[in-house]
Amino acid sequence: MAKQLVWFVTGTSSGFGAEFVEQILARGDKVIATARNVDKIEHLKAQGADVLQLDITASQEVMDDKAAEALRLHGRIDVLIHSAGYIQFGSWEDVE
Ligand SMILES: NC(=O)c1ccc[n+]([C@@H]2O[C@H](COP(=O)([O-])OP(=O)(O)OC[C@H]3O[C@@H](n4cnc5c(N)ncnc54)[C@H](OP(=O)(O)O)[C@@H]3O)[C@@H](O)[C@H]2O)c1
């Protein structure tokens, strides 16, 4: 039997991040799903994911605390998927 991995995924309220969590749970692995608003990922918690609030623009101190909190859940993280972010379209003069 394959080793059960522990995954940590950012930006799981939509898009690739949400899809990764669904696929990881379907594999039978553990997943720590993060979002800046955990209300948006209650359904992932109901499916068996561990849920952690995380805004990726937070300070290093907050990040360190979040990493420690995540490590306490299963004692390790085997795979990190960083999916949080956004794409901004427009001409160079228009985007900030
Ligand atoms: N889709 C594509 O074709 C494509 C192509 C190249 C690269 N990418 C990159 O792949 C990643 C995911 O794309 P996607 O299509 O899945 O986008 P998406 O559906 O818009 O999902 C983006 C996710 O990032 C989260 N997020 C944004 N800012 C955040 C922050 N400060 N802290 C925590 N979470 C934050 C959003 O959460 P909220 O619900 O809180 O907004 C959302 O869950 C993005 O980084 C995107 O730039 C996508």
What are the tens digits of pLDDT across the range 60-84? 999 999 999 999 999 999 999 999 9
> Above 80 in pLDDT, residue 42?
yes
Q: How far apart are the first and last CA of the chain?
A: 50
Q: Is 24 in the pocket of ligand 1 (CB under 6 A)?
A: no
For the chain, the residue count is 96
Q: Which of the listed residues 20, 82, 87 should we mutate to test ligand 1's pocket, taking the one with most ligand atoms within 8 A of CB? A: 87
Q: How buried is residue 5: exposed, middle or buried, by Cβ count under 10 Å (0-12/13-18/19+)?
A: middle
Q: What percent of the chain has pLDDT over 90?
A: 88
The model carries a pTM of 0.94
